[in-house]
Amino acid sequence: MHFGPHLLLAALEGLVTSAVLALTALGLSLVFGVMRVVNVAHGEFFMLGAVLAWAVSTAISGHPAIGFVAALVIAPLLVGLVALVAERLVLRRLNYNPEGTIVATIGMLYIIQQLALTFYGPEARPVEPPFSYRILLPWFGYSGYKLSVVAVSAILLVITWLVLTRTKIGLIMRATQYDRETAQAFGIPVERVYAGVFAVGAMLAAIAAVLIVPISQAHYLMGQDPLLLSFIVVIIGGLGSLRGTVVAAVLIGLSDGIISMFFSPTLAKIIATLVVAMVLVFRPQGLFGTTSR
């Protein structure tokens, strides 16, 4: 293949990464933006989504599409439930103290990871894609499923944006984010908003995982990279800024796809991580964010 098609392939792969990353990072960003909680267990919710997707789709026989659709509905709901329980039992009792919640979510990370290892095992297992249509480009064929992942993610992002900016629920969430105490004084059930946001954040990660699992297989350690990348995206995009998160996800996903096609992936990660750390040091509000309150 020549350089042009090669670059196109890298860009397409990068776009798929971006789409999934944007969903995952959006979950992290929502939780941080509204609750001021850094959820270190976010990557494990992602992993849990993928593992549950495998469980659901193998339990259901018949056409792979049926199993996949069932997984796309059931897995995120279960993950949301787990997150809700964790929020009730742990985060609320800590009164959302930033340092306490970091330590507690580190604890959750280990618990979820270990339980996945115990009950799911160390193997990587595939989930069959719902359809296997290949789009023929002049230079190579490309998986139609991968492109549909991009489309579905884009739709979900638009829906989230609409909910945040155009509905009452979104208004309540933004009010809580802006000023927790005043919101409470106006009769907004802040604790219920927090619980809901934490569950939705985890569900977004789980949806992203179900979408990616036909491409990359489910494994109990698969949560680590998305966690780090989501952190990077959220920081570059500005903590708590939705638009910034999406732009940063596309930026990171594309550059990750292109850089790791031409250079060593370890070197790509080193550079990306170092750049992000420097952004945090010298421009803590992120590249697109405004100064946080």
Partner 1 sequence: MRDASPAKAYALHIGVIALLFALNFVLPDYHQGLFARIMALAVFAMGYNLLFGYVGLLSLGHAMFFSAGLYGAGLTVYHLGWGVPEAFLAGVACGALLALVIGLLALRTSGVAFMIVTMMFAQVFYLLILYFAAWTGGDQGLVIQQASRVIAIGDASLDLTDPTVRYMSALALFAVVLLITLAVVRSRFGRVLVAIRENEERTKMLGYDTVANKLAAVVASGAICAASGAAYALLFGYVGSSFAGVQYSILPLLWVLLGGAATTLGPLIGTLFMYYVTDITSGFTSAYLLIVGVALILLVLFAPRGIMGSIRERWLGWLP
Chain residues binding partner 1 by CB under 8 A are 38, 90, 93-94, 98-100, 102-104, 106-111, 113-115, 117-118, 228, 231, 235, 264, 266-267, 269-270, 273-274, 276-278, 280-282, 284
For partner 1, which is the closer residue by CB, 61 or 266? 266
144 contacts 134 by C-beta, under 8 angstroms: yes
Least distance from partner 1 to the Cβ atom of residue 40, Å: 9
Q: How far is the CB of 94 from partner 1 (least distance, A)?
A: 7
* Min separation Cβ 202 and partner 1, Å: 17
CB crowding 77-109: b at 16 or more within 10 Å, else e: ebbbebbbebbeeebeeeebeeeebeebbeebb
Distances (CA, A) of 15 to 18, 146, 176, 209, 250: 5, 9, 33, 16, 7
Nearer to partner 1, 137 or 270 (CB): 270
Which CB, 103 or 185, lies closer to partner 1?
103
Q: Are 34 and 173 in contact (CB under 8 A)?
A: yes
Alpha helix positions (H), 122-241: 144-166, 168-178, 180-185, 190-216, 224-237
Closer residue to partner 1, CB minimum distance, 110 or 139: 110
Shortest Å, Cβ 194 to partner 1: 17
Q: How far is the CB of 117 from partner 1 (least distance, A)?
A: 8
- Residue with smaller CB distance to partner 1, 178 or 263: 263
Q: What angle do CA 254, 255, 258 make, to 5 degrees?
A: 85
Per-residue DSSP letters for 168-183?
Answer: HHHHHHHHHHH-HHHH
